[in-house]
Amino acid sequence: MNMKEIILCYQGEMVLKGLNKASFESTLAKILRYRVKSCGNFKVYRAQSTMYIEPLDEFADVDEAYRRVSKVFGLAALSRAVVCDKNFETICETAEAYLGDALRGVKTFKVEAKRSDKTFPMKSPELCAELGGYLLSKHPHLRVKVKDPQMTVMVEIRDYGAYIHGPKTPGAGGLPVGTSGRALNMLSGGIDSPVAAYRMARRGLALHHIHFASPPYTSERAKMKVHSLAQIVSGYTGNCVLYVVPYTAPQEYIRDHAPDVLFTVLMRRSMMRIASRIAHEIECDAIITGESLAQVASQTLKALQCTDCAQDLPILRPLIGMDKSEITETARAIGTFETSILPYEDCCTIFTPPHPKTKPSVEEILEAEAAMPGLAELEEKAAAEVERIAVRQNEPVELL
Ligand code: ATP
Ligand code: MG
């Protein structure tokens, strides 16, 4: 049987947004259109609060489109549906051909029908009862259960045809990327910062990444690893730019001019100043990091206070209250973990003293910075020499 499948997307939290609903929906439609563009010829449209993604010829890759759409924030659930002629017998046969296998795997089910084309001769309750009866005759082990069935067979009679839905799968949740503004994510090669990017994009932030590299202490491979991470999360975050800052000179300067025990906090403040400068240039309104309270010496409250006051943008730390095991679980789920654990050096871990101070005070930090008059100029130069790498979500990820 020739069955034409389409994808149905159900909105999540954004339906609550009242006034903004229209702009949220048009952003979401734009994102969906862009996401499936390179999977073939699709039409994306909206009816009530559901988005429809319909292939326009047999070359369109519905499987790949479904995989991509399941990463689009703003969707609570997805399902596939088949479209057939609006004829009761055809509807029965199509439902059985399309959902028969799924029905064999459950014990309880119900049929729900919606009829927006009022010229269709059967009313919804009648269609439910008759189709339910037909499916029961094919699967005598089944029982109809109106409340909480294991599976719901949905039939919608629309102008263009009859739509028969399969089971729903969870969508990516959250809000469409871009509806909450834009931020700059500090991306290291580690496990945490790609997860931080994912979590903030899920709250509707569009983002770019910034990475600090210190060649020759950090290698070209380490930079490629960060690029791959940005590309993996781009399935969620959308197209973006990875800004790579040549950080060797400021870092060596701090090493040579500051007390060892303050090195890490001073370096983190310096990185924040550069990130902030670039964020302002590219109109990002916040900085995101993968910091988690007390994970390392630079993530104590005192150390965070010192990094916070290095510049004026809000610093978003979505992982602040998460355990490493929870962060790792998310990293696995979004596909960044395997790349994150590749053993390449990060500039944050070179020159680190064996016993960094865990409770630095802002006064001693400012004093140490006053003794580094040459740092500002080196930071300015590093920011000016930043390299821009385009990260495009519809391109296949090249894993290292
Ligand atoms: P991650 O797993 O993300 O590397 P971490 O636990 O190793 O984090 P740190 O190395 O202290 O912790 O870094 C804390 C945060 O600072 C990172 O999550 C990231 O946001 C940022 N960061 C660290 N190193 C870099 C870098 N080289 N370039 C850009 N940002 C960085
Ligand atoms: Mg790190």
Residue 296 has a pLDDT of 76
Residue 6 has a pLDDT of 94
Residue 320 Cα, ligand 2 centroid: separation in angstroms? 14
| Cβ atoms of residues 198 and 289 within 8 Å | no
Q: Tell me: pLDDT of 398 over 70.
A: no
Which residue matches tokens 């006051």?
309
Of all residues in the chain, the percent with pLDDT exceeding 70 is 97
Least confident of 11-20, 48-57, 62-71: 11-20
In 3D space, the residue among 160, 176, 153 whose CA is nearest the CA of residue 56 turns out to be 160
First vs last C-alpha separation in the chain: 43
Residue 82 has a pLDDT of 95
For ligand 1, atom 23, which residue shows the shortest CA distance?
188
Residue 264 Cα, ligand 2 centroid: separation in angstroms? 12
Residue 24 has a pLDDT of 87
Beta partners for 110? 152
Distance CA 223, CA 187 (A): 11
Ligand 1 mutation pick, 191, 192, 320, 349, max ligand atoms within 8 A of CB: 192
Which residues lie with the beta carbon below 6 Å from any ligand 1 atom?
186-188, 190-193, 210-212, 289-291, 295-296, 298, 346-348
Dihedral angle sign, alpha carbons of residues 83, 88, 92, 97: negative
Residue 147 Cα, ligand 1 centroid: separation in angstroms? 48
Q: Tell me: pLDDT of 12 over 80.
A: no
Which residue matches tokens 């790498």?
389
Q: Tell me: pLDDT of 16 over 70.
A: no
Which residue matches tokens 């048009």?
26
Distance CA 281, CA 274 (A): 11
- Overall size of the chain counted in residues: 400
Q: Where are the beta strands (DSSP E) in the chain?
A: 4-11, 42-47, 50-55, 75-84, 108-115, 143-144, 151-157, 162-165, 169-173, 181-186, 205-213, 240-246, 287-288, 315-316, 387-391
pTM: 0.90
Please report which ligand is nearest the Cα atom of 187. 1
Which residue matches tokens 């995101």?
288
Please report which ligand is nearest the Cα atom of 352. 1
Distance CA 88, CA 127 (A): 8
- In this predicted model, what pLDDT tens digit does every residue of 214-270 receive, in sequence order? 999 999 999 999 999 999 999 999 999 999 999 999 999 999 999 999 999 999 999
List helix spans (H) across 282-315: 301-308
Residue 366 Cα, ligand 2 centroid: separation in angstroms? 25
- In this predicted model, what pLDDT tens digit does every residue of 299-337 receive, in sequence order? 899 999 999 999 999 999 999 999 999 999 999 999 999
Ligand 1 mutation pick, 188, 209, 342, max ligand atoms within 8 A of CB: 188
